[in-house]
Chain A
Amino acid sequence: MTPNNIVNMAILKGLDVIAITDHNSAKNIDACIKAAKDKILVIPGMEIESREEVHLLCLFEDLNSALMMEKTVDENTAYIKNREDIFGRQEILDEFDNLIGTHDKLLLKSCDLSVYEIKKETERLGGVCIPAHIDRESFSIISNLGFITEDMGFTTLEISNNTTREEFLGKNEYLKNYSFIQNSDAHALGYINERVNAIEVYDKTLKSVISALKLRQNP
Protein backbone atom coordinates (compact mmCIF):
# COMPACT_ATOMS: atom_id res chain seq x y z
CA MET A 1 0.00 0.00 0.00
CA THR A 2 1.31 3.42 -0.96
CA PRO A 3 -0.26 6.89 -0.56
CA ASN A 4 -1.21 7.00 -4.24
CA ASN A 5 -2.64 3.54 -4.56
CA ILE A 6 -4.64 3.93 -1.33
CA VAL A 7 -6.07 7.28 -2.35
CA ASN A 8 -6.80 6.25 -5.93
CA MET A 9 -8.38 2.94 -4.96
CA ALA A 10 -10.60 4.81 -2.48
CA ILE A 11 -11.58 7.27 -5.24
CA LEU A 12 -12.33 4.37 -7.62
CA LYS A 13 -14.53 2.82 -4.95
CA GLY A 14 -16.46 6.08 -4.76
CA LEU A 15 -15.58 6.85 -1.14
CA ASP A 16 -15.95 10.43 0.10
CA VAL A 17 -13.79 10.20 3.20
CA ILE A 18 -10.92 7.97 4.33
CA ALA A 19 -8.83 8.01 7.49
CA ILE A 20 -5.15 7.16 7.56
CA THR A 21 -4.51 5.39 10.86
CA ASP A 22 -1.13 3.68 11.02
CA HIS A 23 -0.32 1.85 14.21
CA ASN A 24 1.24 4.36 16.64
CA SER A 25 2.49 6.47 13.73
CA ALA A 26 1.37 9.59 11.86
CA LYS A 27 4.26 9.82 9.43
CA ASN A 28 2.42 8.74 6.27
CA ILE A 29 -0.56 11.05 6.61
CA ASP A 30 1.01 14.09 4.97
CA ALA A 31 1.80 12.11 1.81
CA CYS A 32 -1.77 10.79 1.60
CA ILE A 33 -3.28 14.26 2.04
CA LYS A 34 -1.04 15.61 -0.71
CA ALA A 35 -1.72 12.64 -2.99
CA ALA A 36 -5.46 13.17 -2.50
CA LYS A 37 -5.33 16.74 -3.83
CA ASP A 38 -8.89 17.54 -2.67
CA LYS A 39 -10.29 14.59 -4.65
CA ILE A 40 -11.14 12.80 -1.42
CA LEU A 41 -11.21 13.93 2.21
CA VAL A 42 -8.36 12.43 4.23
CA ILE A 43 -8.71 12.35 8.01
CA PRO A 44 -5.39 12.46 9.87
CA GLY A 45 -5.38 9.73 12.49
CA MET A 46 -3.61 6.96 14.31
CA GLU A 47 -4.52 3.60 15.72
CA ILE A 48 -2.96 3.82 19.15
CA GLU A 49 -2.33 0.78 21.29
CA SER A 50 -2.81 1.62 24.95
CA ARG A 51 -1.03 0.24 27.98
CA GLU A 52 -3.92 -2.23 28.32
CA GLU A 53 -3.23 -3.35 24.73
CA VAL A 54 -6.50 -1.80 23.60
CA HIS A 55 -6.60 -0.35 20.09
CA LEU A 56 -8.06 3.15 19.86
CA LEU A 57 -8.76 5.08 16.68
CA CYS A 58 -7.74 8.68 17.25
CA LEU A 59 -8.91 11.04 14.51
CA PHE A 60 -8.00 14.71 14.21
CA GLU A 61 -9.14 17.84 12.43
CA ASP A 62 -5.66 18.67 11.18
CA LEU A 63 -2.32 17.05 10.50
CA ASN A 64 -0.51 19.04 13.16
CA SER A 65 -2.70 17.65 15.95
CA ALA A 66 -2.04 14.11 14.72
CA LEU A 67 1.69 14.79 14.70
CA MET A 68 1.53 16.17 18.24
CA MET A 69 -0.29 13.03 19.34
CA GLU A 70 2.33 10.90 17.62
CA LYS A 71 5.02 12.73 19.58
CA THR A 72 3.26 12.02 22.88
CA VAL A 73 2.83 8.37 21.99
CA ASP A 74 6.45 8.09 20.89
CA GLU A 75 7.70 9.65 24.13
CA ASN A 76 5.70 7.07 26.04
CA THR A 77 6.81 4.02 24.09
CA ALA A 78 9.89 2.08 25.11
CA TYR A 79 12.50 1.66 22.40
CA ILE A 80 12.56 -1.78 20.86
CA LYS A 81 14.34 -2.05 17.56
CA ASN A 82 12.13 -3.25 14.70
CA ARG A 83 13.01 -6.66 13.34
CA GLU A 84 12.41 -6.23 9.63
CA ASP A 85 12.66 -9.98 9.06
CA ILE A 86 9.63 -10.48 11.34
CA PHE A 87 7.56 -7.31 11.18
CA GLY A 88 8.60 -5.99 7.78
CA ARG A 89 9.98 -2.58 6.94
CA GLN A 90 8.13 0.33 8.58
CA GLU A 91 8.18 2.64 5.61
CA ILE A 92 7.62 6.37 5.39
CA LEU A 93 6.65 7.51 1.88
CA ASP A 94 6.18 10.88 0.23
CA GLU A 95 3.27 11.96 -1.98
CA PHE A 96 4.95 10.43 -5.05
CA ASP A 97 5.31 7.08 -3.29
CA ASN A 98 9.05 7.53 -2.87
CA LEU A 99 10.58 5.95 0.20
CA ILE A 100 11.84 8.84 2.33
CA GLY A 101 12.56 7.01 5.57
CA THR A 102 11.85 4.07 7.83
CA HIS A 103 10.91 3.75 11.47
CA ASP A 104 13.72 2.03 13.28
CA LYS A 105 11.66 1.76 16.47
CA LEU A 106 9.10 -1.04 16.56
CA LEU A 107 5.62 0.47 16.16
CA LEU A 108 3.67 -2.73 16.60
CA LYS A 109 3.49 -2.56 20.36
CA SER A 110 1.66 -0.81 23.17
CA CYS A 111 2.58 2.59 24.53
CA ASP A 112 2.64 3.34 28.25
CA LEU A 113 -0.53 5.47 28.24
CA SER A 114 -3.87 4.24 29.54
CA VAL A 115 -7.13 4.27 27.58
CA TYR A 116 -8.19 7.28 29.68
CA GLU A 117 -4.96 9.16 29.05
CA ILE A 118 -5.08 8.59 25.29
CA LYS A 119 -8.71 9.70 25.09
CA LYS A 120 -8.03 12.81 27.16
CA GLU A 121 -5.01 13.85 25.10
CA THR A 122 -6.82 13.18 21.80
CA GLU A 123 -9.68 15.41 22.92
CA ARG A 124 -7.32 18.10 24.18
CA LEU A 125 -5.99 18.23 20.62
CA GLY A 126 -9.53 18.58 19.27
CA GLY A 127 -9.81 15.00 18.05
CA VAL A 128 -12.14 12.11 18.69
CA CYS A 129 -11.17 8.80 20.28
CA ILE A 130 -13.01 5.66 19.16
CA PRO A 131 -12.44 2.16 20.56
CA ALA A 132 -11.48 0.04 17.53
CA HIS A 133 -12.96 -3.27 16.35
CA ILE A 134 -14.62 -3.84 19.72
CA ASP A 135 -16.23 -7.11 18.60
CA ARG A 136 -12.82 -8.75 18.10
CA GLU A 137 -11.21 -11.05 20.59
CA SER A 138 -7.84 -9.41 20.45
CA PHE A 139 -6.71 -5.85 21.13
CA SER A 140 -10.27 -4.70 21.75
CA ILE A 141 -11.51 -2.72 24.72
CA ILE A 142 -14.12 -5.37 25.51
CA SER A 143 -11.76 -8.34 25.35
CA ASN A 144 -9.09 -6.61 27.42
CA LEU A 145 -11.12 -4.50 29.85
CA GLY A 146 -14.27 -6.61 29.95
CA PHE A 147 -16.82 -3.91 29.12
CA ILE A 148 -17.26 -0.24 28.31
CA THR A 149 -18.40 1.99 31.16
CA GLU A 150 -20.25 5.31 30.96
CA ASP A 151 -17.47 7.14 32.75
CA MET A 152 -15.04 6.33 29.93
CA GLY A 153 -17.08 8.91 28.00
CA PHE A 154 -16.92 7.43 24.50
CA THR A 155 -19.49 8.54 21.93
CA THR A 156 -18.73 6.35 18.92
CA LEU A 157 -17.59 2.73 18.79
CA GLU A 158 -16.12 0.82 15.87
CA ILE A 159 -17.09 -2.72 14.96
CA SER A 160 -15.22 -4.85 12.45
CA ASN A 161 -16.56 -6.16 9.18
CA ASN A 162 -17.01 -9.59 10.78
CA THR A 163 -20.29 -8.53 12.37
CA THR A 164 -23.22 -6.13 12.02
CA ARG A 165 -24.49 -3.53 14.45
CA GLU A 166 -27.61 -5.62 15.05
CA GLU A 167 -25.69 -8.82 15.69
CA PHE A 168 -23.23 -7.04 17.98
CA LEU A 169 -25.98 -5.33 19.99
CA GLY A 170 -27.74 -8.67 20.32
CA LYS A 171 -24.85 -9.71 22.57
CA ASN A 172 -24.09 -6.26 23.99
CA GLU A 173 -27.44 -4.57 24.46
CA TYR A 174 -26.02 -2.16 27.04
CA LEU A 175 -24.17 -0.32 24.26
CA LYS A 176 -27.26 0.51 22.21
CA ASN A 177 -27.08 4.26 22.88
CA TYR A 178 -23.67 4.68 21.30
CA SER A 179 -23.04 5.66 17.70
CA PHE A 180 -21.40 2.92 15.65
CA ILE A 181 -19.09 3.01 12.68
CA GLN A 182 -17.80 0.22 10.53
CA ASN A 183 -14.67 0.64 8.43
CA SER A 184 -12.52 -1.29 6.01
CA ASP A 185 -9.61 -1.49 8.45
CA ALA A 186 -7.81 -2.25 5.19
CA HIS A 187 -4.27 -3.53 5.63
CA ALA A 188 -4.05 -4.35 1.93
CA LEU A 189 -5.45 -2.58 -1.11
CA GLY A 190 -8.02 -5.25 -1.85
CA TYR A 191 -9.70 -4.76 1.51
CA ILE A 192 -10.78 -1.18 0.95
CA ASN A 193 -14.56 -1.24 1.24
CA GLU A 194 -17.10 -0.44 -1.40
CA ARG A 195 -19.29 2.57 -0.76
CA VAL A 196 -21.43 0.74 1.80
CA ASN A 197 -21.12 2.64 5.10
CA ALA A 198 -22.16 6.22 5.72
CA ILE A 199 -22.46 8.78 8.48
CA GLU A 200 -24.52 11.97 8.48
CA VAL A 201 -22.41 15.12 8.42
CA TYR A 202 -23.16 18.82 8.08
CA ASP A 203 -20.70 19.16 5.20
CA LYS A 204 -17.72 17.28 3.80
CA THR A 205 -15.03 18.83 5.96
CA LEU A 206 -12.73 17.38 8.60
CA LYS A 207 -14.39 19.52 11.25
CA SER A 208 -17.87 18.23 10.41
CA VAL A 209 -16.82 14.58 10.27
CA ILE A 210 -15.00 14.79 13.62
CA SER A 211 -17.97 16.67 15.14
CA ALA A 212 -20.36 13.97 13.95
CA LEU A 213 -18.21 11.27 15.56
CA LYS A 214 -18.27 13.17 18.85
CA LEU A 215 -22.04 12.75 19.02
CA ARG A 216 -23.73 9.80 20.65
CA GLN A 217 -26.70 8.34 18.87
CA ASN A 218 -28.81 8.65 22.02
CA PRO A 219 -27.10 11.09 24.39
Chain B
Amino acid sequence: MIFLTTKDLEKALGLVKIAGGDTVKEVSGMYICDLLSLVMSKARQNCAWITVQTNINIVAVAHLADISCIIIPEGIAVDNNTIVKANDEGILIYQSQKTSYELAVEFSKL
Protein backbone atom coordinates (compact mmCIF):
# COMPACT_ATOMS: atom_id res chain seq x y z
CA MET B 1 0.00 0.00 0.00
CA ILE B 2 1.20 3.49 -0.82
CA PHE B 3 1.39 6.25 1.77
CA LEU B 4 -2.10 7.63 2.32
CA THR B 5 -3.49 10.65 4.10
CA THR B 6 -7.02 11.36 5.25
CA LYS B 7 -7.24 13.82 2.35
CA ASP B 8 -6.47 11.02 -0.13
CA LEU B 9 -9.03 8.81 1.56
CA GLU B 10 -11.69 11.52 1.43
CA LYS B 11 -11.20 11.86 -2.30
CA ALA B 12 -10.83 8.18 -3.16
CA LEU B 13 -13.86 6.99 -1.20
CA GLY B 14 -15.98 10.09 -1.89
CA LEU B 15 -16.38 10.91 1.81
CA VAL B 16 -18.10 14.01 3.17
CA LYS B 17 -16.26 15.75 5.97
CA ILE B 18 -18.52 16.80 8.85
CA ALA B 19 -15.98 17.58 11.57
CA GLY B 20 -12.31 18.07 12.19
CA GLY B 21 -11.59 21.19 10.14
CA ASP B 22 -8.29 21.28 8.26
CA THR B 23 -6.72 18.38 10.12
CA VAL B 24 -4.79 15.98 7.86
CA LYS B 25 -3.50 12.68 9.17
CA GLU B 26 -1.69 9.64 7.90
CA VAL B 27 -3.85 6.56 7.27
CA SER B 28 -2.22 3.17 7.55
CA GLY B 29 -5.13 0.78 7.75
CA MET B 30 -8.80 0.36 8.41
CA TYR B 31 -10.76 -0.92 11.40
CA ILE B 32 -14.48 -1.65 11.56
CA CYS B 33 -16.25 -2.16 14.87
CA ASP B 34 -19.19 -0.70 16.79
CA LEU B 35 -18.37 -1.81 20.31
CA LEU B 36 -16.31 1.08 21.62
CA SER B 37 -14.80 -1.02 24.40
CA LEU B 38 -13.33 -3.30 21.74
CA VAL B 39 -12.16 -0.40 19.59
CA MET B 40 -10.28 1.06 22.56
CA SER B 41 -8.25 -2.10 22.93
CA LYS B 42 -8.02 -3.37 19.35
CA ALA B 43 -7.84 -0.47 16.88
CA ARG B 44 -4.36 0.21 15.55
CA GLN B 45 -2.76 3.62 15.53
CA ASN B 46 -3.44 5.70 12.38
CA CYS B 47 -6.28 3.55 11.14
CA ALA B 48 -9.45 4.87 9.56
CA TRP B 49 -12.29 3.62 11.76
CA ILE B 50 -15.77 2.87 10.45
CA THR B 51 -18.59 2.78 13.00
CA VAL B 52 -22.34 3.26 13.12
CA GLN B 53 -22.06 4.65 16.66
CA THR B 54 -22.51 8.41 16.73
CA ASN B 55 -22.42 9.04 20.47
CA ILE B 56 -19.98 11.70 21.68
CA ASN B 57 -17.76 8.96 23.13
CA ILE B 58 -16.49 8.09 19.64
CA VAL B 59 -14.43 11.30 19.75
CA ALA B 60 -12.69 10.30 22.96
CA VAL B 61 -12.11 6.77 21.66
CA ALA B 62 -10.55 8.13 18.45
CA HIS B 63 -8.27 10.26 20.59
CA LEU B 64 -7.35 7.46 22.93
CA ALA B 65 -6.57 4.94 20.19
CA ASP B 66 -4.82 7.52 17.99
CA ILE B 67 -7.20 6.90 15.12
CA SER B 68 -6.76 9.01 11.95
CA CYS B 69 -10.41 9.54 11.21
CA ILE B 70 -13.89 8.24 11.92
CA ILE B 71 -16.14 7.25 9.04
CA ILE B 72 -19.90 7.00 9.62
CA PRO B 73 -21.43 4.77 6.92
CA GLU B 74 -24.92 4.40 5.42
CA GLY B 75 -25.78 8.09 5.70
CA ILE B 76 -26.38 7.82 9.43
CA ALA B 77 -26.88 11.22 11.10
CA VAL B 78 -24.29 12.24 13.67
CA ASP B 79 -25.29 13.77 17.02
CA ASN B 80 -24.61 17.51 17.11
CA ASN B 81 -22.65 17.40 20.37
CA THR B 82 -20.37 14.79 18.79
CA ILE B 83 -19.60 17.16 15.90
CA VAL B 84 -18.94 20.06 18.28
CA LYS B 85 -16.59 17.95 20.38
CA ALA B 86 -14.78 16.57 17.33
CA ASN B 87 -14.23 20.11 16.02
CA ASP B 88 -12.88 21.17 19.41
CA GLU B 89 -10.49 18.25 19.51
CA GLY B 90 -9.51 18.21 15.84
CA ILE B 91 -10.89 14.72 15.24
CA LEU B 92 -11.90 14.11 11.64
CA ILE B 93 -15.36 12.66 11.07
CA TYR B 94 -16.52 11.72 7.60
CA GLN B 95 -19.88 10.52 6.40
CA SER B 96 -20.65 8.16 3.55
CA GLN B 97 -23.79 6.73 2.00
CA LYS B 98 -21.93 3.47 1.39
CA THR B 99 -21.95 0.46 3.71
CA SER B 100 -18.92 -0.47 5.80
CA TYR B 101 -18.33 -3.43 3.49
CA GLU B 102 -18.36 -1.28 0.37
CA LEU B 103 -15.97 1.21 1.96
CA ALA B 104 -13.60 -1.56 3.01
CA VAL B 105 -13.61 -3.13 -0.46
CA GLU B 106 -12.81 0.23 -2.05
CA PHE B 107 -10.11 0.90 0.54
CA SER B 108 -8.43 -2.42 -0.19
CA LYS B 109 -7.97 -1.37 -3.82
CA LEU B 110 -6.04 1.80 -2.96
> Which among A16-24, A25-33, A38-46, A141-149 touches the partner chain?
A141-149
Q: Is B60 an interface residue (CB 8 A)?
A: yes
Main secondary structure of the interface of B (DSSP, over half): helix
- Give the residue of A116, A144, A151 whose beta carbon is less than 8 angstroms from that of B53: A144
- Give the residue of B35, B56, B61, B79 whose beta carbon is less than 8 angstroms from that of A143: B35
Using a Cβ–Cβ cut-off of 8 Å, how many residues does chain B contribute to the interface with A? 14
Instruction: Determine how close the nearest CB of chain A comes to the CB of B81; give it in whole angstroms.
Output: 8
B 50-81 to A, binary, CB cutoff 8 A, 1 in contact else 0 = 00010111001100000000000000000100
Q: Contact between A146 and B39 (Cβ–Cβ < 8 Å)? A: yes
Instruction: Determine how close the nearest CB of chain B comes to the CB of A145; give it in whole angstroms.
Output: 5
Instruction: Determine how close the nearest CB of chain A comes to the CB of B4; give it in whole angstroms.
Output: 26
Q: Contact between B55 and A114 (Cβ–Cβ < 8 Å)? A: yes
Complex contacts, A147 vs chain B, CB 8 Å: 36, 57, 60
Complex contacts, A149 vs chain B, CB 8 Å: 56-57, 60
Instruction: Determine how close the nearest CB of chain B comes to the CB of A68; give it in whole angstroms.
Output: 24
A181 vs B43: C-alpha distance in the bound complex, in angstroms?
32
16 CB-based A-B contacts, threshold 8 Å: A116-B79, A137-B37, A142-B37, A143-B38, A144-B34, A144-B53, A145-B36, A146-B36, A146-B37, A146-B40, A146-B61, A147-B36, A147-B57, A147-B60, A149-B57, A149-B60
Given contact pairs A144-B34, A147-B57, a sample of 7 additional A-B residue pairs in the complex whose CB atoms are under 8 Å apart: A144-B37, A145-B36, A145-B55, A146-B37, A146-B57, A146-B60, A149-B56
Interface residues of A (CB under 8 A from B): 52, 114-116, 137, 142-147, 149, 151
